[in-house]
Amino acid sequence: MFAISTLLDISVLTLLVIVALAMVRERDLFATVMLSGIYGLLSASFFVLMDAADVAFTEAAVGAGIFPLLMLTVLTSVGRYEAGERRVRILPLMLMLALAGALFAAVVQMPAFGAVDAPSHAHVAQRYIYDSPDEIGIPNMVTSVLASYRGFDTLGEVVVIFTAAVGVVVILLGGRPKTPQQSSQALMAEHKVLRIVGKMLIPLILLFGLYVQFHGEYGPGGGFQAGVIFAVGIILYAMLFGLSNAQRVVPLGVLRWLVALGVLIYGSVGLASLLAGGEYLNYSVLANDSVTGQHIGIIVIELGVGITVASAMVLIFFAFTRATRSRDELEE
């Protein structure tokens, strides 16, 4: 069993390097984005091989789903081919070779890959692994570290996502929309089969998102993953039935409120625990029994994370689509 996991590890990593080199050479940005989709899938498979189920979950939805999607949207506006000659630049190449040499020299000084006694496993990780099932009372250690032990850090991450979404909206929806440059065309009207199958899949995706949201304490999952999956469901609807229809379902104004609401929910849990006499984001004081308190706290803040992530992703997608599409298409 050990041998096969090493073999898979090495082959997946080799494929990753090959794909990355292919991306350097490729002049067609469209093909590069296709390759980056493959790159996302590969790195997610690698995370599965490294036992990082939750990370693989997120990378699957982000690296293989949303990242190529945003890139493609941008490509419809900036054009498909790179301009100019492709030449090897000597100075960056030399710099990179020097950097690679230095990093190689540093890397072989590290504890061997997979070493049980590596310093990074020695300190706080032991507590997370052996005490968290009793202290927090949930089996998924990644969720307990994310939501409880490092709750303050996660609050910061959620605020970053919120800020990025606000930034995208300000940058893209602030000015006037572009002048029309193409005829209006019924979106995906040619693909009746796709529309029908998509219509069948959307509820399943949303349901699966909810499952991931609330099952995150027991299996891989949680607010970040669920938010992205939920967003993907709504984005699928927007792609199949047009942006204006999707905006009728989730209007931009509502999304703007939701992005803020998630952060607010997260922050209020911290305030609630302050009021109950504990430290900020110390959920143990939320109920009589500390494990129950942790449960309540984690469910509520994961909900906040899910709401912010989902609405931020949808908001970003809507903003990009509006900025790259012409006016009459929006009003089809």
Partner 1 sequence: MAEIVTVLSSLCLILGAFLIFSGGLGVLRFPDFFTRMHAAGVTETMAATLIVLGLMLHSGWGLPLFKLLLILLFVMITGPTASHALAKSALHGGLRPLGDNTNNERH
Partner 2 sequence: MILTVVAIALIVVMAMAIARAFLGPTIYDRILAVNLFGTKTVLLIAVVSYIFGRPDFLDIALIYALINFISVIAVLRFFEYGSDKVNEKVGEDG
Partner 3 sequence: MAEYYNYLVVVLLMVVGLYIVMAQANLVKKLIGLNIFQTSVFIFYISTAKVTGGTAPIVVDGAELYSNPLPQVLILTAIVVGIATMALALALVLRIKRAYGSVEEDVILEQDKPC
Q: Which residues are at the interface with partner 2 (CB under 8 A)?
A: 1, 4-5, 7-8, 11-12, 15, 18-19, 22, 26-28, 30-31, 34-35, 37-38, 41-42, 44-45, 48-49, 51, 53, 56-57, 60-61, 64-65, 68-69, 72-73, 75-80, 181-182, 185, 187-188, 190-191, 194, 197-198, 201, 204-205, 208, 212, 219-221, 229, 232, 235-236, 239-240, 324
DSSP 285: G
Amino acid at 184: S
Of 312, 285, 301, nearest to 154 by C-alpha is 301
Q: Give the span between the Cα atoms of 70 and 59, in whole angstroms.
A: 15
Q: DSSP string spanning 1-60?
A: -HHHHHHHHHHHHHHHHHHHHHHHH--BHHHHHHHHHHHHHHHHHHHHHTT-HHHHHHHH
Interface pick for partner 3 out of 53, 239, 258, 285 (rule CB under 8 A): 53
Picked from partner 2, partner 1, partner 3, none, the partner binding residue 240 (CB below 5 to 8 A depending on kind) is partner 2
Amino acid at 282: N
Site string for partner 3, 241-280 (x = CB under 8 A): ----------------------------------------
Sign of the Cα pseudo-torsion (311, 313, 318, 323, in order): positive
Given 116, 189, 193, 200, the residue binding partner 3 (CB under 8 A): 116
Letters for 285-314 (x = contact with partner 3 by CB under 8 A, - = none) are: ------------------------x--xx-
Radius of gyration of the chain (CA): 23
Residue 319: what are its φ and ψ, rounded to 5°? Answer: -60, -45
* Cα 70 from Cα 72, distance rounded (Å): 5
**Site of interaction with partner 1 (CB under 8 A):** 190-191, 193-194, 197, 200-201
Exactly one of 8, 34, 38, 74 binds partner 3 (CB under 8 A); that residue is: 74
Interacting partner of 200 out of partner 2, partner 3, partner 1, none (Cβ under 5 to 8 A depending on kind)? partner 1
Stretch of residues binding partner 3 (CB under 8 A), selected from 42-50, 186-194, 237-245, 264-272: 42-50
